[in-house]
C-alpha cells in the first residue's frame, strides 16, 4: 500500500530533488504540492521535467480539505514552514520537515500538538546521514576536547544563520560540555562579529557563498593537537536517503522527533 504524500516547496532545489525521489519510489505516491503561487496549475506546468498532473495548491485550508494524505513533507523556509507544519498536524497529517530556523518555542508548540494528536513528526536540521554522524561524533569528542569552534558553510540563498545543523551540533556539544570561555580573556574584535556567534563559550562562524551546498567543520583544540570532524554535501541528492527514511519512520511514531539521529 502506497504512502500518500503532500510536498511543500516543490520549486526549490531541495524540493525538486525530493519530488524526483518520491515519484521514483514505488512505495510513495505524491498526491499534491503546496506552493506560494501557481494555484490551479499542475506539477508539469511549473516543473516541465516531470510529466505529472499532480495538482498545485496555494491555499492550505483548501488543500487539506480536498486532498487526503498520510505524510506532509515541508522543504520551504522558516516563516511559512512553521505554519505549514502546524496546519498539517491539526489536519491529522504526519510532518517530515527539512526547514531549519524554527525557534525553541515553535518546536515546543509543535511537539505538544503532536503529542496531543498522537501523531508522529520529524524535524531534521539535516537529512544527510553523514551530517548526522558528524554531529554525534562531535558530541562524543566534546567530552575530551572542551575547546571547540564550528565553521558552517552554505549557499548564498540560505536565510538563517547559523544553520540548523550548527545549532543542533551546539546543543549536542553543550549537553556534555561545561560552559567555558575560549580565547584570550582580554580579546576584542577589530571588526564586529569577527569571532562569530557564541553559545556557552563555543564560537560558530557562518559562511554564505555561491557554489556551496552544505558543509560543516567542528574543530577541537588540545595541547599540541587539533581534531577536526568535517562533513560536505555536494548535491541535494545527499539528503534524499534521509527524507526517504523519515517518510517511512514517521508513520511508526506518535510524537515529534527533532533530529535524524533518533530514527537511525
Q: Are strands 3-8 and 28-34 parallel, antiparallel or unpaired?
A: parallel
Distance CA 94, CA 51 (A): 27
Catalytic residue among 84, 158, 168, 215: 158
- Concerning whether 158 is annotated as a catalytic residue, the answer is yes
Q: Which of 197, 200, 151, 153 is nearest to 173 (CA)?
A: 200
For residue 121, report the phi and psi dihedrals to the nearest 5 degrees: -150, 140
Strands 71-74 and 94-97: parallel
SS3 state at 33: strand
Residue 153 known to be catalytic: no
HEC profile of 51-104: CCCCEEECCHHHHHHHCCCCEEEECCCHHHHHHHHHHHHHCCCEEEECCCCCCH
Which helix or strand (DSSP H or E) is residue 43 part of?
helix 43-46
- Active-site residue, from 139, 154, 205, 249: 154
CB-based contacts of 62: which residues, under 8 Å, 6+ apart?
none
Length in residues, the chain = 264
Count of Cβ atoms closer than 10 Å to residue 67 Cβ: 18
Task: Work out the number of other CB atoms within 10 angstroms of the CB of residue 170.
Answer: 23
Residues with catalytic roles: 154, 158
Amino acid at each position: 500500500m502506497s504512502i500518500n504524500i503532500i510536498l511543500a516547496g516543490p520549486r526549490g532545489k531541495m524540493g525538486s530533488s525530493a519530488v524526483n525521489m518520491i515519484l521514483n519510489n514505488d512505495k510513495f505516491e505524491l498526491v499534491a504540492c503546496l506552493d506560494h503561487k501557481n494555484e490551479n496549475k499542475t506539477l508539469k506546468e511549473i516543473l516541465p521535467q516531470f510529466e505529472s498532473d499532480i495538482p498545485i495548491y496555494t491555499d492550505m485550508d483548501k488543500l487539506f480539505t480536498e486532498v487526503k494524505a498520510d505524510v506532509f513533507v515541508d522543504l520551504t523556509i522558516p516563516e511559512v514552514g512553521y505554519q505549514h507544519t502546524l496546519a498539517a498536524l491539526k489536519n491529522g497529517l504526519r510532518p517530515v520537515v527539512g526547514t531549519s530556523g524554527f525557534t525553541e518555542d515553535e518546536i515546543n508548540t509543535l511537539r505538544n500538538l503532536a503529542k496531543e494528536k498522537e501523531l508522529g513528526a520529524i524535524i531534521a536540521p539535516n537529512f544527510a546521514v553523514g551530517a548526522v554522524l558528524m554531529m554525534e561524533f562531535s558530541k562524543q569528542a566534546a567530552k575530551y576536547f572542551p575547546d571547540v569552534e564550528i565553521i558552517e558553510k552554505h549557499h548564498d540563498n540560505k536565510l538563517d544563520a547559523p544553520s540548523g545543523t550548527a545549532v543542533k551540533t551546539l546543543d549536542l556539544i553543550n549537553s556534555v560540555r561545561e560552559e567555558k570561555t575560549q580565547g584570550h580573556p582580554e580579546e576584542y574584535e577589530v571588526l564586529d562579529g569577527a569571532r562569530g556567534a557564541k553559545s556557552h563559550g563555543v564560537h560558530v562562524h557562518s559562511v554564505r557563498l555561491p557554489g556551496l551546498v552544505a558543509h560543516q567543520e567542528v574543530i577541537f583544540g588540545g595541547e599540541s593537537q587539533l581534531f577536526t570532524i568535517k562533513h560536505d554535501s555536494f548535491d541535494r541528492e545527499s539528503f534524499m536517503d534521509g527524507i526517504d527514511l523519515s517518510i517511512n519512520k514517521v508513520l511508526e511514531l506518535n510524537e515529534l522527533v527533532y533530529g535524524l539521529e533518533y530514527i537511525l
